[in-house]
Amino acid sequence: MDPRLSWLTSFVTVAEELHFGRAAERLHLSTSAVSRHVRLLEEAMSVPLFERTSRSVLLTPQGRRVYGEIAVPVATIDGALRRTGIGADGGTISVAYVSAPGERMIPRAAAMFAGDPLGVELRLLPASSSEQRSGLLEGRVDIGVQWMLPGAPVPSGLEMTPIRDEPLVVALPPDHHYANSHDLRLVDLAGEDWLMAVDSSDLALRQGFVAACQRAGFLPRIRGEATGFKAQLSLVAAGRGVCFAPAAAQETDGFGVCFVRIHDLHVSLVAMTRPAPGRAMLRFVELLRAAG
């Protein structure tokens, strides 16, 4: 593999993040390796691509021009190489996942995959469902692991493999009048304020949830106040509203909220891929189902 593809990939990632540390985290490389790639590319092109200070990283005019010319081709090449099981860095599958399965299931599946004789490495990336879908369609992500509610659409150009189903629960403040209930119907919660992501990064779940509420006969009042499940639990504990979650969320400690099952409603953990995934990707999805 021509090492210059790694230089270009590092440059594109730094250009998008404008931060060498965050770019290194995305690429699962050390910051020094990313800096070296960019320096080698600058030397090869004989132009400075970034203006670096102790507080900021900015693209130079030459850097903006280069980024505009190569960002899409680099993503296309990198995605094509990953789909064939090669990868820009010698055989890597990028797996993006939402937080709940990332604490237990993803590490278990990754440990099992490490013992497989496929010679392919994993790059694990926490990401929202919306970030996963754009990454899949743009070739930056190979497998996306996310929750889906019945009624949520599968984006065209992607395939979905179910991993497991879980009951849906609602997180309530400890003094809520339903806090000691065994289970609730969704319509029982029609008057609640529902906490969801500020930036609509939970769009897939949101669409499915709204569809479920409409089937129950009401439209939910959604308050976009916190991105991330743990941030939402903090606001639930403070009485700002309620939020829904898979039953696995009940293992989350330290927030002082009450979880109550929502009757006859479940959420599905799924693996999203582009069509015709390679053998290594199919193997990891198989291991996800085993770990789940």
Question: What's 29-88 look like in SS3?
Answer: CCHHHHHHHHHHHHHHHCCCCEEECCCCEEECHHHHHHHHHHHHHHHHHHHHHHHCCCCC
Distances (CA, A) of 113 to 35, 190, 281: 30, 44, 10
Instruction: Supply the DSSP symbol for 254.
Output: S
Domain ranges of the chain: 1-83, 163-266
Q: What is the DSSP letter of 116?
A: S
Please state the pTM of the whole predicted model.
0.63
Nearest to 133, CA basis, from 157, 169, 165, 100: 157
Residue-wise pLDDT tens digits, 99-141:
777 668 888 999 888 876 666 788 888 888 888 888 888 888 8
Give start and end residues of each alpha helix (H) in the chain.
3-17, 20-27, 31-45, 61-83, 99-102, 105-114, 129-138, 203-216, 229-237, 279-291
Reported as a single tens digit per residue, the pLDDT across 11-29 is: 999 998 899 988 888 877 7
Q: Answer whether CATH 3.40.190.10 is correct for domain 163-266.
A: yes
With 50 as the cut, is the pLDDT of residue 35 above it? Answer: yes
- Domain 1-83 = CATH 1.10.10.10: yes
